[in-house]
């Protein structure tokens, strides 16, 4: 019990230090709880919840207490002649962390530090840790998200909302200001807090609004937080 409390506290502090006040969310009740056997995809080897993304020790520096390696790509980014804002050449920051599961190339149980006494990815070399060999129900071959499912975005992101975009409404009057967007509950990332990433609209630790949305989208309310329509 004490170990569990220490782990939860370490993760909470790490997330807060990383700028994300997610400690009050209930990830255990979401599809991101890979130990919950009522989910479409779950595993039967551990009852730990946070471990498939976070670890208190030996973490990757790429995201707060991150327990996974980042995907190498290459990714094909969204592009359109109607976009006036700048899109990075590859996913950045928290979006890359999301894609470490959701691009469908890295096993869900490819962890830097496995539960319990742990099998640590020796020396933390570059590349991905191997699959821990867990038994997953509902996953695809290699313990990845099944192909054809929305949870498996793949590496071609042209059919998804653009990410790693520098949000600059001065380039397009059809967008609300950064201040109004953040006041309404969405988030920006990066040093300048002006980057649109997966977690701008999605909260990976809470699915109260469905689909991990940061706010309910009834009447397209989430969409019109940024877009003036």
- pLDDT tens readout for residues 134-156: 999 999 999 999 999 999 999 99
How high does pLDDT run on average in the chain? 88
Letter string b/e over residues 121-151, b meaning 16 or more CB atoms within 10 A of that residue's CB:
beeeeeebbebbebebeebbeebbbeeeeee
Q: Does position 1 have pLDDT exceeding 50, yes or no?
A: no
Q: Does position 42 have pLDDT exceeding 50, yes or no?
A: yes
Average pLDDT of 188-205?
A: 98
- Do you find a cis peptide bond into 74, omega within 30 degrees of 0? yes
Residue 12 has what pLDDT?
47
Q: Name which of 45, 47, 67, 64 is nearest 55 in CA terms.
A: 67
Phi-psi region of 93 (alpha: psi -120 to 50; beta: other; left: phi over 0): left
Q: Which residue has the higher pLDDT, 50 or 57?
A: 50
- pLDDT tens readout for residues 58-80: 888 888 999 998 899 999 999 99
Residue positions counted in the chain:
229
C-beta separation of 221 from 119 below 8 A: no
d(CA 94, CA 18): 11
Q: Name which of 198, 173, 174, 201 is nearest 186 in CA terms.
A: 201
Q: Does position 122 have pLDDT exceeding 80, yes or no?
A: no
Sign of the alpha-carbon torsion through 212, 213, 216, 218: negative
Q: Does position 6 have pLDDT exceeding 70, yes or no?
A: no
Query: Which residues have CB under 8 Å from 41's CB, separation 6+?
Result: 31, 34, 108, 136, 137, 138, 139, 145, 151
């Amino acid at each position: 019990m004490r170990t569990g409390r220490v782990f939860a506290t370490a993760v909470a502090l790490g997330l807060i230090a990383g700028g994300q006040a997610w400690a009050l969310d209930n990830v255990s009740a979401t599809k991101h709880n890979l130990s919950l056997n009522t989910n479409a995809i779950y595993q039967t080897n551990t009852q730990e919840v946070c471990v498939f993304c976070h670890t208190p020790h030996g973490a990757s520096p790429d995201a707060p207490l991150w327990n996974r390696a980042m995907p190498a790509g290459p990714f094909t980014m969204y592009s359109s002649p109607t976009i006036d804002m700048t899109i990075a050449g590859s996913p950045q920051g928290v979006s890359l962390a999301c894609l470490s599961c959701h691009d469908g190339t890295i096993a869900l149980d490819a962890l830097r530090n496995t539960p319990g006494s742990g099998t640590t990815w020796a020396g933390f070399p570059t590349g991905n840790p191997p699959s821990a060999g867990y038994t997953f129900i509902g996953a695809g071959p290699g313990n990845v998200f099944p192909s054809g499912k929305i949870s498996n975005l793949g590496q071609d992101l042209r059919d998804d909302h653009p990410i790693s975009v520098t949000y600059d409404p001065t380039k397009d009057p059809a967008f609300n200001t950064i201040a109004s967007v953040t006041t309404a509950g969405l988030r920006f990332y990066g040093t300048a807090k002006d980057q649109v990433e997966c977690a701008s609209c999605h909260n990976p630790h809470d699915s109260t609004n469905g689909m991990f949305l940061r706010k309910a989208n009834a009447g397209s309310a989430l969409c019109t937080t940024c877009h003036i329509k």
